[in-house]
């Protein structure tokens, strides 16, 4: 005689069914709401890495400048400003590097520019060349005497 094993277990099966539906719903919602790259590298959205990397740059970097302006590089390399990168003074020029013809950089005003680094301040290392610009030049623009790319005064240069 065939015994119906599930005869008295119908309520359990219904419960199991309810659980199955619940779990399925959870997995579906999870698949829908969790970003697909989440967990790719760790407990975060992996696609965020590529999104960060893809952001555009503002500063082209000195290699890009030197590709075209090798003449300036030669002058700079011989002088005290050899370690100062181009955009430290000339500003962000990635647009200029992309399109040199239509994006033309503005020449910095040496009266403002030089003082940013060389104005005397108590916090600056003692070995760093510093001046009190009012005493040093009496208001004259720095490039009257100094060539910014190689700032040490040359013999015979105009001196006040």
Please report how close the Cβ of residue 86 comes to another protein at its closest, in angstroms: 9
Residue choice 68, 98, 116, 157 for contact with another protein (CB under 8 A): 116
State phi, psi for 23 to the nearest 5 degrees.
-65, -40
Query: Any contact of residue 77 with another protein (CB under 8 A)?
Result: no
- Tell me the C-alpha distance between 64 and 139, whole Å: 35
Judged by CB under 8 A, which of 9, 12, 57, 104 binds another protein? 57
Contacts of 59 (CB under 8 A, 6+ apart): 87, 92, 93, 94
Residue 71 tokens read as: 């003449």
What would the x/- binding string for another protein be over residues 10 to 39, using CB under 8 A? -------x--xx-xx--xx-xx---xxxx-
Measure the CA–CA gap between 48 and 142, rounded to whole angstroms. 46
Of the candidates 91, 94, 82, 153, the one whose C-alpha atom is nearest the C-alpha of residue 116 is 91
Tokens of 141: 């623009």
The minimum distance between CB 91 and another protein, in angstroms, equals 8
C-beta of 119 vs 156, nearer to another protein: 119
Q: Which stretch binds another protein (CB under 8 A): 2-10, 70-78, 89-97, 145-153?
A: 89-97
Smallest separation, CB 113 to another protein (Å) = 10
CA–CA dist 70, 149 (Å, integer)? 13
Cα–Cα distance for residue pair 33/36, rounded to 1 Å: 9
Q: List interacting residues with another protein (CB under 8 A).
A: 17, 20-21, 23-24, 27-28, 30-31, 35-38, 40-59, 61-62, 81, 83-85, 87-89, 91-92, 116-117, 119-125, 128
């Amino acid at each position: 005689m065939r015994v119906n094993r599930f005869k008295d277990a119908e309520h359990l099966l219904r419960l199991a069914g309810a659980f199955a539906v619940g779990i399925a719903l959870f997995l579906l919602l999870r698949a829908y709401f969790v970003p697909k790259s989440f967990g790719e590298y760790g407990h975060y959205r992996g696609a965020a890495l590529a999104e960060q990397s893809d952001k555009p740059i503002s500063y082209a970097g000195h290699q890009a400048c030197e590709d075209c302006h090798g003449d300036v590089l030669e002058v700079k390399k011989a002088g005290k400003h050899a370690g100062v990168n181009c955009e430290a003074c000339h500003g962000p020029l990635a647009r200029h590097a992309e399109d040199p013809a239509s994006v033309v950089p503005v020449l910095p005003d040496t009266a403002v520019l030089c003082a940013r680094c060389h104005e005397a301040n108590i916090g600056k290392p003692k070995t760093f060349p510093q001046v009190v610009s009012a005493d040093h030049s009496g208001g004259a623009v720095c490039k009257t005497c100094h060539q910014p790319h190689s700032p040490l005064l040359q013999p015979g240069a105009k001196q006040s």
